[in-house]
Structure 1
Amino acid sequence: MASSAGLYLAIARGGFRRYSTYRAATAAGAFTNTVFGFVLASGFLALWHAKPHLGGYDTRQAVTYIWVSQALLVAVAAWGGGFQDDLQDRFRTGDIALDLHRPCDFLGWWLAGDLGRAAFQLLTRGAVPLTVGVLVGHARLPHSPLTWPLFLGSVLLSLLVSFGIRFLISVSSFWLMDAEGLRAVSVVVSMFLSGMLLPLTLFPDGLRQAAQLLPWAALIQAPCDIFLERGGDRVPAELALQAGWAVLLLAAGRAAQALAARKVVVQGG
């Protein structure tokens, strides 16, 4: 058990180091997220000045929502990507068959690497725009110190949910041969249902309630609301919903992996 934990920790460190080598790209990405933070925050300020307390947010909460969402955007891979690109390349080359016979769990290997990637993105492309937003962008930090562990726990769950969604899409390549179409659909769905563009509380009744129960809400909306201390007594339920989706998606991914391994053996590849 200890050796397995050490292996996955080493894989996560490798994922962290891999992305840390792209320093110019990271700096450019952090700058881009910060600029977009200012652009979107300006739009939200105008909207909330016209309609105060829209969606249950006051003006400062709305601006803070933008900065927190910009901090999470790349880490949770709301646009897709991350390990998906590497995995798709291995499908094209046929190396995926070798991956299934590694002396470690296939899903665990990619999950550990993706968590390492996400940790680096949070510390760089996440921390920079959020810090700028707090210092000069009218964002506010949580009032209670207890909010921070709840927020970080929610972020971890959002990473697991994001991985679960992307892993299922990637594994579909065993049957579709190319998952690019599903990836494109997933990006569009994520844009609207994660809270990336607008808080889900602005959606019409019915659509809002449905969207808040879907897994994409766990990516941006849930951690943002916890950071803004909007949940109150609902925070445990929100975390439980995130955890439930994480468990369900990872279990579905493992089941799909098992079916895929059987397909590879049957095809002799």
Structure 2
Amino acid sequence: MQTEIGMAPGARIVARLARRARLSTLKYLAILRVSILNNLAYIIEVFFRALLLVVLVFVLTQLWKTTFTLRRTHVLSGFSIADMIWYLVAAEAIALSLPALTRRIDQEVRSGQLAYLLGRPASYVLYNYAHYLGERLVRLLMNALIGALLALIMAGVPHFTWQGLLVWPLVALIALSIDFVMHFSIGLLAFWSEETQSFSLIFSRLTLVLGGVLAPLEIFPQPLRSIAQALPFSAILYGPSRTLVHFEAARLGTLLIQQGLTLLVGTMIMLTIYYAAVRRVNINGG
């Protein structure tokens, strides 16, 4: 406060807002750190969960090898078999890193615990985002390490560009954020629905099929390819995975626009559901 003496009123307001923003950022970074440490404490469990990626990638790789052999080609829609393997690893690493966010939010709503959590000196949404991000980053890193080892054995050293490696963390983080707002919104539907796991199952299956986890969207026939590329599911799995394997500057710009719009619209929907749920809690007295 002493540093604000002699400041103009406008400057004091800006300084206070900046201090509050810094303290708030440090608070959620601390939550993120605790979440990461909690998941590292159970790293063996995370490791065994990640072994599912080995099974899925191995099975899909055998299917695609058979497809390449039957078509008597070494390149399919711009992807060689090595590119396809690395793409599958990248997509599966993201897809299989999703924690049970919807189920946890659902349980907090049904048990009434949400009413108590709202009283914390922290945003319920941002608290859950930091907690979710810490858990998912640990799982994603473990999936990536195991998947990369498998891909090195099956396909050899990848031909990634430095641009793809540089921007992949950014597009992957935006993809994880989009996944968060979608599943968080589904969890909050427990205020109005007796069961939200059916909604979560539908969304996750649509993401897997239309998001490009089984194959790059270039493989899809028209008009399914264009429809899938326009849907938000492709911004979660296909976009980041293709950016890593086949980086193209023009596609990156399109992907960032798609991810930005998807995240913006998804956040607006999530906040609308959230504030409606909070009003419902206040009206019912918790």
Instruction: Report the TM-score, using the length of structure 1 for normalisation.
Output: 0.91
Match of 1:31 among 21, 34, 51: 51
Q: CA deviation at 1:71?
A: 2.1
- Measured in 1, the distance between the counterparts of 2:209 and 2:107 equals 28
- Could you state the TM-score of these two structures normalised by the residue count of structure 2? 0.86
Aligned to 1:113: 131
Q: Give CA-to-partner distance per residue, 1:99-137, whole Å, 9 cap, x none.
A: 223221121111111111111112212222123312x12
Alpha-carbon distance in structure 2 between the residues aligned to 1:32 and 1:216: 22
Larger radius of gyration: 2
Counterpart for residue 5 of structure 2: none
Moved over 6 A (4+): none
1:186 matched to 2:208? The reply is no
Show structure 1 runs of 5+ residues with no match. Answer: none
SS of match in other structure, 2:215: coil
Which residue matches 1:83? 101
1:63 aligns with 2:63: no
Partner of 2:32: 12
Q: Work out whether 1:239 is the aligned partner of 2:256.
A: yes
Query: How has the CA–CA distance of structure 1 residues 216 and 170 changed in structure 2, closer, same or farther, with 3 Å as cutoff?
Result: same
Instruction: Flag the 1:46–1:221 CA change in 2: closer, same or farther, 3 A.
Output: same
After the TM superposition, which of the residue ranges 33-42 and 51-60 deviates more from structure 2?
Answer: 51-60
Q: Distance in 1 between matches of 2:31 and 2:82?
A: 40
SS class of match (2:195)? coil
Question: Do the aligned residues in 2 keep the contact of 1:45 with 1:63 (CA within 8 Å)?
Answer: no
Cα deviation per residue 1:36-74 (whole Å; 9 max; x = unaligned)?
Answer: 222221221221232333333222221221122222222
* Contact 2:110–2:190 (8 Å) recurs in 1: no
Q: Say if 2:115 is the partner of 1:97.
A: yes
Alpha-carbon distance in structure 1 between the residues aligned to 2:157 and 2:87? 10
Counterparts of 1:139 and 1:248 in 2: how far apart (Å)?
Answer: 40
CA–CA separation in structure 1 for the residues paired with 2:162 and 2:143: 23
1:73 aligns with 2:95: yes
1:157 aligns with 2:179: no
Distance 1:85 1:175 in 2: 15
**Partner secondary structure for residue 191 of structure 1:** helix
What per-residue deviation string (whole Å, max 9, x for no partner) do you get for residues 171-228 of structure 1? 1112114312211222221221111223222222122111111111112111111011
1:226 counterpart letter in structure 2: T
| 2:121 counterpart SS class | coil
User: Where does structure 2 lack aligned partners over 5 or more consecutive residues?
Assistant: 1-20
Number of residue pairs matched by the alignment: 264
Give 1:211's aligned residue. 228
